[in-house]
Amino acid sequence: MRPGAAWGGGSLVRAAHTGLSWGVTLALFLHRTDLRKQEEHGELLQPLIFVLLVLCSVLLYFVVSLMDPGFIESDEEEKVGMNEEQRVMMPQFPSNVWLRRCGYCMLKQPMRAKHCQLCRHCVRRYDHHCPWIENCVGERNHPLFIVYLAVQLVVLLWSFHVAWSGLYFEQSWEWLQHNIFLLLSFLVIAIFTIVVLLLLVSHLYLVSCNTTTWEFMSHHRISYLRHCESENPFDQGVILNLWRFFCACRLVTWEKIYFQEDSDPV
């Protein structure tokens, strides 16, 4: 990803994420929570693991936010590195499947790619543009995006338990003064837990079907899906879909899977 595009519009969002993460963590340690009590008694294992998990989630956030999601910089044959034999064996598209050059980038779009007007690039296996990471989620960073969501969910669930352990409710202004930051942290944690849980479940479902958020939401407007006899021509079974998504180290030529479901990715 180009440095200017990476930091230009997303520096404030990334700073807000970092500040919120460590601000909530600090609030959990400053109040009488289980982590604070363990720290005071010299039991440092769980507090240390918790801090390391928060650090891991922040680092994953920056990696997913700043990495190349699969930007198309040149014609796809050069990008994937197909040889002459592979190009000859590539099936031709039927006339009713309309693949075109991008009207913005003027680059040849491979199947499942889409132009993101916010990033101003075409992205391979485009899923969506995530405003929280200020980056697209595409073929290169989608697996790591799901790993980030999973780690973040663990941190949030643990934080929820810790924040609850420090709350003792009294109907007095003094109680509110002493616990206002912990109470606000608890509300923030609860909201983000629900959001991250819904995101993680929905993405795991889509990945298990080998479809994307864009394809799921715009199925009727995408030519290669609208004119296909199969509802999802890329679905090769849950196990194989998950294996190829998380374990494949190379870009996939989706055109071959579209026409020949038993083909291996190139």
Per-residue b or e along 215-235, where b marks 16 or more CB atoms closer than 10 Å to that residue's CB: bbeeeeebebbeebeeeebbb
pLDDT per position as a tens digit, 111-137: 899 999 988 899 999 999 999 999 999
CB-based burial label for 198 (10 Å; 0-12, 13-18, 19+): exposed
Helix, strand, coil percent values for the chain (each to nearest 5): 60, 5, 35
- Helix 142-165 to helix 238-247 angle (10° resolution) is 90
φ, ψ of residue 137 in degrees (nearest 5): -105, 115
Quote the CA–CA distance of 253 and 244 in Å, as a whole number. 12
How confident is residue 9, by pLDDT bands cut at 50, 70 and 90?
low
Instruction: Please tell me what DSSP assigns to residue 137.
Output: E
pTM of the model: 0.84
The band of 8, judged by pLDDT with boundaries at 50, 70 and 90, is: low
What pLDDT, on a 0 to 100 scale, did the predictor assign at position 104?
83
Integer Cα distance of 2 and 11 in angstroms: 14
Mean pLDDT of all residues in 85-89:
44
Q: Is the pLDDT of residue 249 over 90?
A: no
Chain-centre distance of CA 55, in angstroms?
Answer: 18
| 116, 214 Cβ separation under 8 angstroms | no
Just list the catalytic residues.
Answer: 130
Task: Give me the phi and psi of 125, to 5 degrees please.
Answer: 40, 55
Which pair of tokens denotes residue 123?
A: 């992205």
- Place 210 in a pLDDT band, splitting at 50, 70 and 90: very high
Burial class (CB in 10 A: 0-12, 13-18, 19+), 62: middle
Does residue 84 surpass a pLDDT of 80?
Answer: no
Which residues, listed in sequence order, are joined to residue 101 by a DSSP beta bridge? 108
Residue 87 confidence (pLDDT): 46
pLDDT, greater one: 245 or 101: 245
- For the chain, what are the domain ranges? 9-70+138-262
**pLDDT tens-digit readout, 133-162:** 999 999 999 999 999 999 999 999 999 999
